[in-house]
Amino acid sequence: MQQYLDLLSRILNEGVHKGDRTGTGTLSVFGNQMRFDLRDGFPLLTTKKLHLKSIIYELLWFLRGDTNVHYLQEHGVRIWNEWADENGELGPVYGHQWRSWPDYKGGTIDQITNVLEQIKHNPNSRRMLVTAWNPAEVDEMALPPCHCLFQFYVADGRLSLQLYQRSADTFLGVPFNIASYALLLQMMAQVTGLEAGEFIHTTGDTHLYSNHLEQAKLQLTRTPRPLPKMKINPDVKDLFAFKYEDFELVDYNPYPHISAEVAV
């Protein structure tokens, strides 16, 4: 994925030094876009090994509307542990906003189901959006949403998805985000009878933490390898019925993992 390496290089060469909430410090650029055509393969980084299990279970957790880390922990996924309270709760984070956005009448809005229906029955709609950024509840969240808005687009039998991410931890977070939303796109395409098109990743504050700079430079010494393929169980036609076992990654040949600390 040369697009990703180009982004690392851009931040290292053009980034400005900024302080941040965690106190770690960053090199940052503002505004970036990467495009991935899923016909070219599944966009999972090959220049370092990623933990696909965490990516899949986190996405299934979002789609459940869940906001407690117990489901993740039961499946050996610990990526949200640092932000959870003593009961495992995170507040009204992604899953809550995707599936149970509060409306002004006292009810809730299932944004995922709504957008599925639009893709199926009104594919030319320009309103096929899901947002996780709820100003009324953002202060109640353990971590406000970084990837906060995504939109679907149907043309020529292909379904595409564009994500806007306000804050992009480029070394640790962005590779996960790319794979997660590419997988969501494949799942949505399958259950709506469309071909997966492009995943477009637009980011705002796009940064490398100061303790990730050497790792980024190491990654830039590695030449991208051919992308793997993601096989999805073709029998699943209900978005909310997918299980971990329905996904199979084939021909993934990454370089070794590169360790880096999460800025909390």
Domains of the chain with bracketed CATH: 1-250 (3.30.572.10)
Average pLDDT across the chain, whole number: 96
Query: What pLDDT does residue 20 have?
Result: 83
pTM of the full structure: 0.95
Task: Say yes or no to pLDDT of 21 above 90.
Answer: no
Share of the chain above pLDDT 70, in %: 100
DSSP conformational letter for 47: S
Catalytic residue among 69, 93, 146, 179, which? 146
Q: Is 254 exposed, middle or buried (0-12, 13-18, 19+ CB in 10 A)?
A: middle
Query: What pLDDT does residue 263 have?
Result: 73
177 assigned to a ligand binding site:
yes
**Contacts for 9 with CB less than 8 Å, ≥ 6 apart:** 220
6 assigned to a ligand binding site:
no
167 assigned to a ligand binding site:
yes
Q: What is the dihedral of CA 226, 203, 65, 57, to 10 degrees?
A: 30
Rounded CA gap, 231 and 200, in Å? 21
Structure confidence by residue, pLDDT tens digits, 57-91: 999 999 999 999 999 999 999 999 999 999 999 99
- Active site annotation includes 148: no
Q: What is the dihedral of CA 74, 183, 227, 194, to 10 degrees?
A: 150
First-to-final CA distance of the chain: 27
Query: What pLDDT does residue 22 have?
Result: 82
Rounded CA gap, 92 and 102, in Å? 10
166 assigned to a ligand binding site:
yes
Task: Say yes or no to pLDDT of 261 above 90.
Answer: no
Task: Say yes or no to pLDDT of 37 above 80.
Answer: yes
Using the CB atoms, write b or e for 129-143: b if 16+ within 10 Å: bbebbbeebbeebbe
239 assigned to a ligand binding site:
no
Q: Is 184 left (phi over 0), alpha (psi -120 to 50) or beta?
A: alpha
Query: What pLDDT does residue 137 have?
Result: 96
